[in-house]
Amino acid sequence: MLGQSLPEYIFILSSISLLRLVAPLSFLYLSYCLYTKSITPWLFLFALLEASFYLFVYRPRRTVLQKSIYTPPPLTRAQRHALFLRCSKRIAGSRYPLGWFTSPNIKRQNVVEWILWALFSATPETAQESWEEEMEEYVTKVEELLGMKLEQGRVDATSALRLTLDPVKMVHRPLVWYLVVALVDLITSTKLSFMGFTHYSNPSRIFPPRLFHIFTTPSPSATTHFSYWYRPHKSPTRDPIIFIHGIGIGLYPYLPFFQDLITATPDQGLLLIELLPISMHISSPPANSLPPVKSLLHGLYTTLDSLGISRAVLASHSYGTVLAAHVLRAQREEPQPRIRITSHLLIDPIPFLLHLPSVAFNFLYRPPRAANEWQLWYFASRDPDIAYVLGRCFFWAENVLWREDLGLDLESGSGSGSGLYSGSNSNVKFAILLSGKDQIIPAPLVRQYLTREDDVIPIWVSHNRKFHIIAN
């Protein structure tokens, strides 16, 4: 990830500008050829491919990707009430929920629209009359939080941030960019193969095609939901490691990390889950994008069963922590889970404090300014398939993770970090790594929420020593 220096700023804006100019320059050159009847064969072919890619791939998909395939699981009234109270208790004294609006100038109907999305996954047009009494309770509570009575009506200039209802915003990237993605994927696959990994591929259609498969035949994946890499487990004393990556260009940025793990413990197995729809690839049709989390969870369990893994360490980064959160919650709720996760490592976790607008705003709504923000904006936030996953497949009420989900008691031990564990998580260890300058999550707030400490402690350890938070 880039920093915020002037040279980096110039570099990233130049790179983005060059990529965005490919399509218009291709159309301009084709028009020139048509007018002058003069053609340079290789340049004409390049321009024709780029223009065709824009017209017949990007533009149709831009329309298709606005449609929602999945709907969030509906909440009962009791669940909605409990969730709303849970959120409001954690923002006492704040101006919540003003951060969820494009302007602090709001009226009653603005708040109603936001609550309908957040708790009902609905709009004013689809709202049911039976919800009116319940809605009145929530609006009254919001007025208490804001310390003011909301005026009737709606401020048309103000809109709420509603991820799954707002338009999916994307920016075209040229065909040549996907060639770069294919080459990076080939380098990644080759290095993983040399590290001793075997690739298990699912049958979904992906673009760009995986060049590594030209030179080798992958093993069939145990699930249709994702592909994965596996390095056999041989250690009699350690549990194998499952790793789920975040949004980016796949597993490439993690290669040094994998090599360090292999060097340190060569007999310890490694299972690397690949989520290609958040790896700058094109999934076709959109149904091949990330399925509901429960389906991913089932696919993970099926994969582990096929590899003979009954217990493991689960490490995840950024968006990968969303799936990890569901694994964690399932472990806590099931008396005898199918797979026993003995330790969790959450790196820059997304699921905490999702009731606050930080994650949604920073990833999808924030205007880029610094070099690292422009990098995130173009290469991640506005990637068509990544934007689709975030805008149509991410449901905050389903993915949010609370302090007590980790086994940390809600009331007692808040400052001391005593940590009361229950259920099947009673012997599970947790470690959370928080980057102080992370662009997406509100790392200082997450640290404070989990530790109940105002002062920054570089390595915070609970009294039972089963919970560690490393912050920088």
How confident is the model at residue 422, as a pLDDT?
42
* CA pair distance 283, 276, nearest whole angstrom: 8
Region for 64 from its dihedrals, namely left if φ exceeds 0, alpha if ψ lies in -120 to 50, beta otherwise = alpha
Average the pLDDT over each of 29-38, 85-94, 245-254, 398-407 and give the range with the smallest value.
85-94
Co-location of 217 and 250 in the same domain: yes
Sign, CA dihedral 250-251-252-257, equals positive
Using pLDDT thresholds of 50, 70 and 90, give the confidence band for residue 289: low
Per cent of the chain over pLDDT 70 is: 94
More confident: 313 or 409: 313
How confident is the model at residue 47, as a pLDDT?
96
Q: What tokens does 49 get?
A: 């491919």
Using pLDDT thresholds of 50, 70 and 90, give the confidence band for residue 329: confident
How confident is the model at residue 286, as a pLDDT?
57
Co-location of 280 and 416 in the same domain: yes
Region for 11 from its dihedrals, namely left if φ exceeds 0, alpha if ψ lies in -120 to 50, beta otherwise = alpha
Q: Would you say residue 287 lies in a domain?
A: yes
How confident is the model at residue 344, as a pLDDT?
94
Q: Would you say residue 243 lies in a domain?
A: yes
Co-location of 427 and 389 in the same domain: yes
How confident is the model at residue 188, as a pLDDT?
98
| Domain encompassing residue 447 | 175-471
How confident is the model at residue 411, as a pLDDT?
42
Q: What tokens does 191 get?
A: 């290095």
Average the pLDDT over each of 49-63, 95-109, 205-219, 328-342 and give the range with the smallest value.
328-342
State yes or no: pLDDT of 413 exceeds 60. no
Q: Looking at the 3D structure of the chain, how many domains does it have?
A: 3
Give, as one character, the DSSP assignment of residue 361: I
Average the pLDDT over each of 8-12, 168-172, 450-454 and give the range with the smallest value.
450-454
How confident is the model at residue 452, as a pLDDT?
87
Co-location of 44 and 113 in the same domain: no
Q: How confident is the model over 389-409, as pLDDT tens digits?
A: 999 989 999 999 998 888 776
* CA pair distance 293, 281, nearest whole angstrom: 20
How confident is the model at residue 416, as a pLDDT?
39
How confident is the model at residue 423, as a pLDDT?
44
Co-location of 377 and 399 in the same domain: yes
Average pLDDT over residues 139-150: 90
Q: Would you say residue 156 lies in a domain?
A: no
Average pLDDT over residues 234-263: 96
Angle between the 77-89 and 132-146 helix axes, to the nearest 10 degrees?
A: 0
State yes or no: pLDDT of 209 exceeds 60. yes
The answer to whether the CB of 319 falls within 8 A of the CB of 247 is yes
Co-location of 396 and 248 in the same domain: yes
* CA pair distance 360, 202, nearest whole angstrom: 30
CATH number at residue 219: 3.40.50.1820
Helices (H), 123-278: 132-146, 175-194, 212-215, 255-264
How confident is the model at residue 383, as a pLDDT?
96
Co-location of 139 and 211 in the same domain: no
The answer to whether the CB of 121 falls within 8 A of the CB of 395 is yes
Co-location of 385 and 456 in the same domain: yes
Rg of the chain over all Cα atoms, to the nearest angstrom: 24
* CA pair distance 30, 336, nearest whole angstrom: 64
Tokens 């990994």, residue located: 197
How confident is the model at residue 94, as a pLDDT?
63
Q: Would you say residue 92 lies in a domain?
A: yes
Q: Would you say residue 161 lies in a domain?
A: no
* CA pair distance 368, 374, nearest whole angstrom: 5
Average pLDDT over residues 255-273: 97
How confident is the model at residue 300, as a pLDDT?
93
State yes or no: pLDDT of 68 exceeds 90. no
State yes or no: pLDDT of 1 exceeds 90. no
| Final residue of a structural domain among 146, 165, 195 | 146
How confident is the model at residue 425, as a pLDDT?
52
Co-location of 250 and 115 in the same domain: no
The answer to whether the CB of 204 falls within 8 A of the CB of 283 is yes
State yes or no: pLDDT of 252 exceeds 50. yes
User: Residue 283 pairs with which residues in a beta bridge?
Assistant: 206
How confident is the model at residue 91, as a pLDDT?
61
Residues 6+ apart with CB under 8 A from 196: 231, 232, 262
Q: Would you say residue 166 lies in a domain?
A: no
Using pLDDT thresholds of 50, 70 and 90, give the confidence band for residue 417: very low
**Average pLDDT of every residue of the chain:** 89
Tokens 């951060």, residue located: 99
Q: Would you say residue 155 lies in a domain?
A: no
How confident is the model at residue 93, as a pLDDT?
52
Co-location of 373 and 401 in the same domain: yes
Average pLDDT over residues 53-76: 90
Buried-state track 431-459, b at ≥16 Cβ within 10 A, e below 16: bbbbeeebbbbbbeebbbebbeeeeeeee
Q: Would you say residue 163 lies in a domain?
A: no
Q: How confident is the model over 177-198, as pLDDT tens digits?
A: 999 999 999 999 999 999 999 9
Q: What tokens does 418 get?
A: 């005593």
Co-location of 237 and 349 in the same domain: yes
The answer to whether the CB of 222 falls within 8 A of the CB of 253 is no
* CA pair distance 326, 310, nearest whole angstrom: 18
pTM of the model: 0.92
How confident is the model at residue 285, as a pLDDT?
59
* CA pair distance 266, 270, nearest whole angstrom: 10
How confident is the model at residue 463, as a pLDDT?
79
Co-location of 140 and 209 in the same domain: no
Tokens 């145990």, residue located: 222
Residues 6+ apart with CB under 8 A from 41: none
Q: How confident is the model over 154-181, as pLDDT tens digits?
A: 999 999 999 999 999 999 999 999 999 9
